[in-house]
């Protein structure tokens, strides 16, 4: 089922607030501007803004418009750190392995363009759900080229850490990343895993990690549940 127009606008604005495109204290575009830009009725825009207001993302100020507020705790899931480091000592971090590491061909229509060498070697992939204080916040699909990783699928991750495992066992260090962030809604499978209702707005993140090994990249597809915690570039 396709989400309603107001749900799509709500999800888009929510994700823009969460990733810092609109910061605390910023004014959102007016109802008229949003109506014109997205080719939808002002009543539809108003409904999306009401949803954001009810969830604490904005405050409606008479005579001014919709002001971005910051009433929720933020997790630095957009920063260049591991999950446990980002969550820190303030919260309890937990990971559930949905699908253990296994070798397979790369998925069709992969979300980044692969080199001929990557295509030839195939990939290792695994899936995890990340929890903060027993609350599911992230569904993560990880992919890496199946080259020089003979024991990766047969041994558990070192201290549960993907990056630490690569660094200690294979001398592969992550040095930077690029990412693409989008607003989507949860399908039934993702909704079940993240314990939300189908069509709940989520933040989808595509990532390619650059490593210390030339032309060797890691890839992740993430779905972030932001109903309780927002995400940001800082902790």
* pLDDT tens digits, one per residue of 70-129: 655 555 555 555 555 556 556 677 889 999 999 999 999 999 999 999 999 999 999 999
What is the band of 36 on the pLDDT scale with cuts at 50, 70, 90?
A: very high
Distances (CA, A) of 167 to 156, 158, 173, 174, 199: 14, 10, 5, 8, 38
- The answer to whether 66 and 26 have CB atoms below 8 angstroms apart is no
Q: How far apart are the C-alpha atoms of 80 and 88, rounded to whole Å?
A: 14
**Nearest 10 degrees: Cα torsion 36, 39, 42, 47:** -130
pLDDT digits (tens, 9 = 90+) for 132-188: 888 898 999 999 999 989 899 999 999 888 999 999 999 999 999 898 988 889 999
Phi, psi of 132 (to 5 degrees): -120, 120
The answer to whether the beta carbons of residues 179 and 205 sit under 8 Å apart is yes
Output the average pLDDT for the chain.
Answer: 86
**What domains, with CATH codes, occur in the chain?**
5-68 (1.10.10.10), 74-231 (3.40.1410.10)
pLDDT exceeds cutoff 50 at 232? yes
CA 12/CA 171 separation, integer angstroms: 39
Question: How does residue 191 score in pLDDT terms, banded at 50, 70 and 90?
Answer: very high
User: Mapping DSSP to helix (H, G, I), strand (E, B) and coil, where does residue 45 land?
Assistant: helix
DSSP letter, residue 57? S
Of 19-28, 35-44, 144-153, 167-176, the least confident: 19-28
Query: Which pairing describes strands 135-145 and 123-132: parallel, antiparallel, or unpaired?
Result: antiparallel
Q: Say if residues 202 and 224 touch (Cβ distance below 8 Å).
A: yes
Residues 6+ apart with CB under 8 A from 97: 126, 127, 128
């Amino acid at each position: 089922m396709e989400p309603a127009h107001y749900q799509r606008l709500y999800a888009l604005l929510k994700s823009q607030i969460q990733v810092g495109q609109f910061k605390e204290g910023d004014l959102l575009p007016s109802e008229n501007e949003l109506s014109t830009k997205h080719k939808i009725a002002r009543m539809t825009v108003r409904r999306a803004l009401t949803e954001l207001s009810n969830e604490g993302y904005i405050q409606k100020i008479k005579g001014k418009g919709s002001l971005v507020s910051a009433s929720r705790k933020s997790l630095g899931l957009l920063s260049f750190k591991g999950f446990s480091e980002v969550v820190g000592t303030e919260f309890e971090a937990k990971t559930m392995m949905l699908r253990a590491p296994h070798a397979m061909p790369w998925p069709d229509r992969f979300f980044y363009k692969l080199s001929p060498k990557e295509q030839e070697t195939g990939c290792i992939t695994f899936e995890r759900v990340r929890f903060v204080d027993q609350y599911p916040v992230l569904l993560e699909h990880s992919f890496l080229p199946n080259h020089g990783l003979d024991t990766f699928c047969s041994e558990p991750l070192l201290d549960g850490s993907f990056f630490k495992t690569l660094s200690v066992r294979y001398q592969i260090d992550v040095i930077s990343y690029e990412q693409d962030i989008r607003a989507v809604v949860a399908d039934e499978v993702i909704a079940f895993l993240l314990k939300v209702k189908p069509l709940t707005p989520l933040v989808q993140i595509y990532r390619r990690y650059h490593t210390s090994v030339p032309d060797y990249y890691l890839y992740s597809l993430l779905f972030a549940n932001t109903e309780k915690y927002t995400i940001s570039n800082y902790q």
